[in-house]
Structures are given as C-alpha cells and as structure tokens.
Amino acid sequence: MQKLLIKGGKKLSGEVVVSGSKNASLPIIISSLLFDDAAQFENVPKVKDIYTLINLIKVLGREVEFDEHKEVLKISKKKKDKYFPPYSIMKTMRAGVLVLAPLLAKFGKAKVSLPGGCSIGARPVNLHLYALKKLGAKINVKNGYIDANAPRGLSGANIKFPTISVGATESIIIAAVLAKGVTKISNAALEPEIIDLIKFLNKCGADIQYNLKRKIVIKGVKFLYPTRHKIIPDRIEAATYAIAALITNGKLLIKNVDNDHLENIFSVLRKIGANIKIFKDSFIIFRKHQLKPFKIITKPYPGFPTDMQAQFMALATQIKGSSEINEEIFENRFLHVSELMRMGADIEIKKQKATIRGIKNLNCAEVMATDLRASVSLVLAALSAKGVTTINRIYHLDRGYSKLEKKLNLCGASVRRSA
C-alpha cells in the first residue's frame, strides 16, 4: 500500500493551478446517462473517483474517452444499456448511488448496491430514497442492494427535505428533469457544485429554476440534448493550498479559481490575519504576522464547508491560543484528531466540538489517513512539522486531489510517494 514521506519545515513559494471540481464532475458525468447522444466535459480532474466513475459508466453501457492531457471526457451511448452496476465498483465511491436517478428516469429500473466511500459517519441514503419514492419509484432495500422500479415513469412532486443534503438534492434534480409535470424541492442544498449541475442540464434543454431561499423548481421535459460543458474549479482544493501557504509561512499564487465560491473561506482567513490579493481567476495568499485563533461552525453553503474543517484544524495547531471547530454536518468527522495528536497536537473533543490549543512545533510521526479531507490535513501538518512524516493509506488522497505531491514539490515542498 502506498504512502507519502514528507520532510517538513519548508516555506512554500510559487504557484498552484487548481484542477476541476471532483464534487461537481461526479453528478454532472452521471447525468450523462440521461442522454442518447454524446456529451463532452472539460476541466475534468484526474483523480481516482473519476476513474472509478468511468468504469461504472462503461459497465452501464457507455463508451468513454478520457484525454488526460487536455482533461476532456467524452461519453457516448452503446446499443445496449445496463441497469445493475456491480458492488466491486460501488463500494469505493459514495457518489455512485446517484446513478439510481438517471437510470430510473430514463429506463424505469435500476439495481444498485448501497454505496461505500469515506468513513465520516453514517451519511445514509434515506433522503435519496424518500425523494425518489415521492416521484413514484417503488424501492426495495435488501441484502445490501437498492432495487428500484418506475414502470410508468417518474412524475413531478413536492419534496421538502427535513435536512439539507447535497447528494439527495443532486439525485432529485437528475431524476426530475425527465419526469412528467413539475417537481418543487424545498430546503435544497445550493452548493456551487449543484448550481454547476443545474447550469449544465439547462444548457441541455432542461427547465430548472432556483432561488436563494433553497427552492428549486423543475419542469420535466421529454428530451435532453447534450453539449460541451466546462467543470467549475475545485474550491476545496484551492482552499487547501491556501492553508498550505499559511501553515508553512509561505506565499502562493493560486490559479484557475472562482473567487466567489471561496468567499466563505476568505472571510475566515482574513479575520485570522491572512493577506489575500484577489485577481480575476486567481489569488495570492501569505501572512505578515502571527495568525489569530478562530471559532468556526460547519454549515451548508454559503456557510463554512465541512470539507475544510480538517485543514483548518491542522492550521490551528500552529496558531497561538485556543481555536474551536464545531462540526454540524457529519457526526464522526474528527477521525484525524488522534493522528494529529500523534504529531504532538493539543486537541480536546467534546461531542461535535474540537478545541485546538496551538503549539510551537508539530513533530514528525507515522500516521494513517481515514478519509479524504483527513488525509490532506495530515499532509498540511507534515509540511510544518520537524523531520519526516510518513502518511499511510493515501488512496484516500488520490480520490480527490490531482497530482498533489507534484504541485507541492513545484512550490518547494519535499514530498515523496513510496510503496
């Protein structure tokens, strides 16, 4: 199993080009199952979850061409469609459950295994199934599989989510575009990745409207006509490299970003003392003085993203004073804490709140990644630690960060991959 060896203590300097958003790519690519004609996507990140999804799409009867150099993905239809993706593929990627939606909408049937992915809490699919049932699907969950049928097709409905769910919102948007009548979603998630999905489907002939009160209205259409679409930049990757600059007391120019998507993170970074210079599709970040401790609470967008709390926790270990992080999205997303403590971090957990007391230096150690964002928090910690840190189980990192060690090394880091 591969691992990373990171020699810390080096200030980062240079520029990083951010890849396309993994979290935007996955639902958009999955929505291509709705089409009869070829679809083409640009700025697709070269990460493991994308390659897993490519295998899944192929199994379901599509032809896929991925030009890795140009980061262009083309998907076209074969003569025979399939409706049963195997567990061997589904077990490694949680977003795979989204294929239920286009298969039901297009063909009226699907059988999908319960998904796998990161170990950050239950993250049940019950909201997906609840909403699909509202659209008329008959669903039976047995022996680890979701067996769904809609022999008469899906029909529009009023759906109010009891809690905000990104995955369930994506699922119903995809399912409802070909449904009969109008679907109204209340308490919907409105992350930039969801807006990108809506924009893509509307370009293909869908009729989807939304407002900032978390309302989405979808008028079903009979056909969709795919077109080219460029995936938005990965805001979480961009913010992760921003933390890398600060935790090493370095200075980075971070390119290929949508700064509007980062404003919720910029606002926190400015308050703690980061210097951020904004340009059209890039920003420079550095610090002149000691950073200040902070208090953050994870919330659905436009609140502070749960996908950044682990990175901010790594940064907090190097800030004098006590910082607090309240995790209100997932229950069990502090698995990285014990690994950071192996490096000398002073962290106390009470239920869903972490208190981080800054220390002068982290120490190198051998640590183990537990999920995607926890993995990169250990990378950030290792960049600032004394000595060489070994990070095991880095396949989590490969699921969401494209060319991580190459991008860091070009900025002066010392990161080496080893078997």
Instruction: Look at residue 352 in the predicted model and tell me its pLDDT.
Output: 92
Q: How does residue 116 score in pLDDT terms, banded at 50, 70 and 90?
A: low
- Residue where the block lists tokens 């807006």: 195
Same domain (yes/no): 278, 203: no
Q: Which two tokens stand for residue 354?
A: 């972490």
SS3 67: strand
Same domain (yes/no): 341, 212: no
Listed residues 191, 211, 230: the one ending a domain: 230
Same domain (yes/no): 72, 163: yes
**Of the listed 118, 204, 364, 411, which one is catalytic?**
118
Note if 118 is an active site residue: yes
- Is the predicted pLDDT of residue 160 greater than 90, yes or no? yes
Chain segment 292-322, per-residue pLDDT in tens: 999 999 999 999 999 999 999 999 999 999 9
Number of folded domains that form the chain: 2
Instruction: Look at residue 124 in the predicted model and tell me its pLDDT.
Output: 65
Dist. CA 261–CA 383, nearest whole Å: 26
Listed residues 195, 230, 265: the one ending a domain: 230
Which residues form the domain of 70? 22-230
In angstroms, how far is CA 390 from the centroid of its own chain? 25
Percent of the chain at pLDDT > 70 equals 97
Question: What pTM does this model have?
Answer: 0.95
Instruction: Look at residue 120 in the predicted model and tell me its pLDDT.
Output: 36
Same domain (yes/no): 273, 306: yes
Which of 216, 232, 300, 291 lies closest to 264, judged by CA?
A: 300
Same domain (yes/no): 320, 218: no
Which of 352, 410, 359 lies closest to 381, judged by CA?
A: 359
By DSSP bridging, strand 366-368 and strand 388-392 are parallel
Considering 74-78, 109-113, 274-278, the range whose residues carry the highest mean pLDDT is: 274-278
Same domain (yes/no): 255, 225: no
Listed residues 211, 230, 249: the one ending a domain: 230
CA atoms within 13 Å, Cβ hemisphere of 319: 26
Instruction: Look at residue 121 in the predicted model and tell me its pLDDT.
Output: 42
Same domain (yes/no): 29, 178: yes
Same domain (yes/no): 263, 136: no
Query: What is the identity of the amino acid at 93?
Result: M
259 DSSP assignment = G
SS3 187: coil
- Is the predicted pLDDT of residue 79 greater than 80, yes or no? no
Same domain (yes/no): 141, 252: no
Chain segment 15-70, per-residue pLDDT in tens: 999 999 999 999 999 999 999 999 999 999 999 999 999 999 998 999 999 999 99
Same domain (yes/no): 64, 13: no
CATH number where 124 lies: 3.65.10.10
Q: Which two tokens stand for residue 294?
A: 């902070």
Which of 122, 5, 102, 116 lies closest to 62, judged by CA?
A: 102
Same domain (yes/no): 82, 171: yes
Chain segment 314-359, per-residue pLDDT in tens: 999 999 999 999 999 877 678 899 999 999 999 999 989 999 999 9
Sheet with 39-42, strands from edge to edge, namely 62-67, 72-77, 39-42, 228-230
Same domain (yes/no): 79, 224: yes
